[in-house]
Structures are given as C-alpha cells and as structure tokens.
Amino acid sequence: MTAANRSCLELLARLGYAARGTVSLIIGLLALLAALGRGGGTTGSKGALLTLLSQPLGNLLLAAVALGLFGFSIWRALQSVLDADGLGTAPKAIVIRFGQAVSAAIYFSLGVFAVSLLAGWGYGSGNEEQSAQDWTAWLLAHSFGRWLVGAVGLAIAGAGLGMAYKAWTASFKQHLGCGGDTARWVVPLGRAGYAARALVFLIIGAFLVAAAYQSDPSEARGLGGALLALQEQPFGRALFGLVALGLAAFGAFEFVEARYRHIAAPEGAEIGKVTRAGLV
C-alpha cells in the first residue's frame, strides 16, 4: 500500500469516527431535549439520519456522514480481519474482533440507509422498533428461533458489559494519542459515553432475552425503545436525562477519537491476502 493510499484509509477511518459521533450526538441531544420537556424525542441511528436530512444543507451533511459510515465500516473490517489494532488471537481478542466484524456490517447497512435517504427511497424504513420486532419475529418462526434470539440478546448484553468495563477502566486511553490537559477532560467524556451506551445495550439485550423466553417479538426494542423503557422506571426522568447526556457525551468523544485515535493502516500485502481469500 502506498503512502497516499494509507493516508486515504486513515482519513476515511477518522471521518468514520466523526460520522458515528454525529449520529450519537443527535440521538443524545434529542433525548436530552425530551428529558427537559423542550421537544426532542427518543430515536435510534436511522431516526438520527432522518433528523440530519431535515436540517439546512441536510443533503450535503448526510452525504458526508454516509461517506463516514462506509469509511468506519471499512476500518472496522480491517480491525477485525487484519487485526489493525494488534489485539492478537487470544480468546478475549477473538471476541473483540468478532464484535468489530459485526460492527462493520451494522455501519455498512447504516451507510446504505443514508444513501437510500439521499435517493429518496428510505423514508418508510426508519422505524427501528418495527424493524427489531420484524427480524425477531422472523427468527422466532424458524427452528431453534427462540435460542437464536436469546443468543443475540445475550451477545448484545455482553457488548454492554464490555462497554461498562471500558467506562470503569478507561481502557480506551491506550488507543488515543492525547495527554496532559486534553486527557483530563477526554477521559471523563469517554467514561460517561461508554457508561450510557452500556446501560442502553443491556436494556436492549434484556428485552431480546424476554422476547425469546416469551416467544413474543413485540418485546424486542431498538435504541429508542430502550430509552423509553428508562422513562418508565422509578426516577425514570432523571435517569433518562443522565443517559441522554451520556449518549451526547459519547458523540463528542467520537470527535475526539476522529482527531486523536491511533490509526494503523495494514500493509497492502496483508489486504491483498484477505482480498484474494474473499474475506473483504
């Protein structure tokens, strides 16, 4: 890989972190406005893209975010398949790299949705709650469907626990190239963001396990549904507000990652091997 190609890949990865930050920031700010009684609402990633499109220069902004989402998907694939972060092949590393592969697929599909919005095709498919319930119903209709839905729920809850660990240990620092005064505010920002995402993922996972146990797809929830579930708990409004603030903090933290994260683009020979094997 030439230096120019490596620079292009790094730029795509950084744009990807910024795109993910934009989506999370919109979700968090909308939820925070709802918690404060100033409008807003609960939504997921697709709803955030719809909101972005409705803004002045929305087409231009959404096109930039779509490019970033595809760039982030590519970077996640390189992290997973080529071990761009140097995690190794220990069991824990394999689990993390598998999660990165799943993340690559998710952000690629989100990029496709963004492009469909730009083309005027995707407006009717932005209901993430219905989408979650539809694919849950599809899985439940198959043999061992309840086990599959339960496994997905446990995997999502496991991802939530992983985020909680990051929030507790601030292990994300090892991938950042900032220190001193910058680190003093970046670390709390990252901790707040990962803690909020951990709680949301745990709620989504719990609802999927409930859907599997009851064989009822209507129990499934997306991100927006998880936020609504928080409001229904004791002290729900305060908890909902804190989580909304945390999601917005994660969005801001992603812009920090876009600037300071270590991006180690794999060598061209490595990418060629994987391409010839049909893996990317």
Per domain, the residue ranges of the chain are 3-275
For the chain, count helices (H), then strands (E).
Answer: 10, 0
- Its sign, for the CA torsion 8, 9, 12, 17, is negative
Residues, the chain = 280
Question: pTM higher than 0.85, yes or no?
Answer: yes
Q: How far is 272 from 107, CA to CA, in rounded Å? A: 23
pLDDT higher at 27 or 38: 27
Coil, strand or helix at 25: helix
Rg (CA), the chain: 19
Question: What pLDDT, in 10s, does the model give residues 157-195?
Answer: 999 999 999 999 999 999 898 878 888 899 999 999 999
Residue 256 gets the label, from left (phi > 0), alpha (psi -120 to 50) or beta, of alpha
How far apart, in whole angstroms, are the C-alpha atoms of residue 118 and residue 113? 9
Mean pLDDT for the stretch of residues 256-268: 82
Q: Which of 2-6, 97-101, 208-212 shows the lowest mean pLDDT across its residues?
A: 2-6
Rounded average pLDDT over 33-45: 86
Q: Which residue has the tokens 């890949």?
A: 9
Mean pLDDT of all residues in 11-38: 93
